[in-house]
């Protein structure tokens, strides 16, 4: 039984969330709170396995509540957002910075065409996040870095022919990406292609937040766009993203892979086919196995391949599967990945 606490200031929305969650026999709602202060007071008594967190609330908003909960009673937190504008959505990622794991769309009312899909996604996400082991987040404390020295890179791998970096991420990816991109040089001589698994409708806000917080130029990829060095391109909702031999982005409605579109698998395979040894593949934290076999394909074609380590991953599914396949030349935390990418370029 997964014990859930619902934090939501709207009585109507709160009732809807409780109805959806309790419709699954494996979920028990152990408490509801109408603001952040009530949530902090309640979490110690109720000891939920997961918290669903609203953002905008009276007395104390979701950002501050998340920060305080992660400092005192670390608990997996799922952001449930009804925001639609890019700037509003960008604000939701401040909860990710505070320690929340993932953001999902708040399901619309019963009878809406998207109700069933969104409700099922909420239930599935809550169950998955209940299995994540979160740690205490101390404000202003920098995480310990086991960063690899640039000297660990074989000289022959610092190739002048490097043309692209491809990165795949899922749960926990936003913070890992922020760490990596914020430490890369602004004059990076190659472009970066990124697939981040995220709820539909949140990509624009995610890109706005990530560009602002990392100070690295980013945009949502467009069909036929030429790759520019020192720029990052994030796959848009509902499209597989690849790249052509003319170094232009290809977006397609190719079927889902691993149940996903965009998928890391599609991106990595495209990069392996086009760039072979002149590429770097990076597989970050996330559930499932998307991109693991394709990272091995990139390695087999001579590319430099990197997987995030277990200790720094929120969920070690994707990088863990790659490591099992011997697909990664390097296994590093985000700080080490940034260092090795800087050396390679």
Q: What is the pLDDT of residues 64-85, one digit of tens each?
A: 999 999 999 999 999 998 876 6
**Residues in the chain where the model's pLDDT stays below 70:** 84-87, 135-160
Q: Which residue has 């990509």 as its token pair?
A: 203
The residues that are catalytic are 170, 197, 290
Domains of the chain by residue range: 2-129, 150-344
Give backbone dihedrals phi and psi of 337, rounded to 5 degrees, phi first: -65, -45
pLDDT of residue 144: 40
Whether the CB-CB separation of 233 and 194 falls below 8 Å is answered with yes
CATH placement of domain 150-344? 3.40.50.180
Rounded percentage of the chain residues whose pLDDT exceeds 70: 91
Domains 2-129 and 150-344 agree in fold = yes
Q: Give the Cβ contact number of residue 4 at 10 Å.
A: 29
* pLDDT value of position 143: 41
What are the b/e assignments for 160-190, b being 16+ CB within 10 Å? eebbbbbbbbbbbbbbbbbbbbebbeeebeb
CATH class of 2-129: alpha beta
Q: What is the pLDDT of residue 81?
A: 85
How many Å apart are CA 216 and CA 183, to the nearest integer? 9
């Amino acid at each position: 039984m997964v014990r859930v606490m619902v934090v939501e200031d709207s009585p109507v929305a709160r009732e809807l969330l409780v109805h959806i969650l309790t419709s699954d026999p494996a979920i028990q709602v152990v408490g509801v709170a109408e603001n952040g202060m009530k949530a902090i007071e309640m979490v110690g008594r109720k000891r939920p396995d997961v918290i669903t967190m609203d953002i905008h609330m009276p007395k104390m908003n979701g950002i501050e509540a998340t920060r305080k909960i992660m400092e005192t009673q670390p608990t997996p937190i799922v952001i449930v957002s009804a925001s639609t504008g890019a700037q509003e959505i960008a604000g939701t990622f401040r909860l990710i910075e505070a320690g929340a794991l993932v953001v999902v769309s708040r399901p619309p009312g019963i009878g809406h065409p998207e109700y069933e899909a969104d409700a099922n996604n909420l239930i599935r996400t809550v169950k998955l996040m209940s299995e994540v082991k979160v740690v205490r987040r101390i404000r202003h404390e920098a995480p310990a870095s086991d960063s690899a020295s640039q000297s660990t890179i074989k000289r022959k791998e610092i190739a002048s022919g490097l043309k692209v970096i491809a990165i795949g991420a899922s749960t926990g990816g936003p913070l890992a990406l922020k760490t990596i991109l914020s430490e890369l040089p602004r004059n990076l001589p190659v472009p970066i292609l990124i697939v981040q698994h995220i709820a539909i409708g949140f990509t624009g806000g995610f890109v706005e937040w990530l560009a602002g917080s990392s100070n690295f130029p980013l945009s949502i990829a467009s069909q036929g766009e030429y790759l520019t060095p020192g720029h990052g391109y994030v796959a848009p909702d509902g499209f597989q993203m690849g790249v052509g031999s003319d170094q232009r982005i290809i977006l397609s409605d190719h079927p889902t892979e691993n149940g996903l579109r965009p998928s890391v698998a599609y991106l990595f395979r495209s990069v392996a086919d086009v760039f072979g040894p002149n590429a770097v593949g990076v597989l970050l934290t996330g559930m499932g196995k998307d991109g693991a076999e394709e990272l091995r394909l990139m390695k087999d074609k001579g590319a430099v391949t990197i997987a995030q380590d277990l200790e720094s991953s929120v969920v070690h599914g994707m990088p863990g599967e790659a490591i099992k396949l011997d697909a990664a030349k390097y296994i590093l935390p985000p700080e080490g990945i940034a260092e090795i990418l800087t050396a390679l370029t």
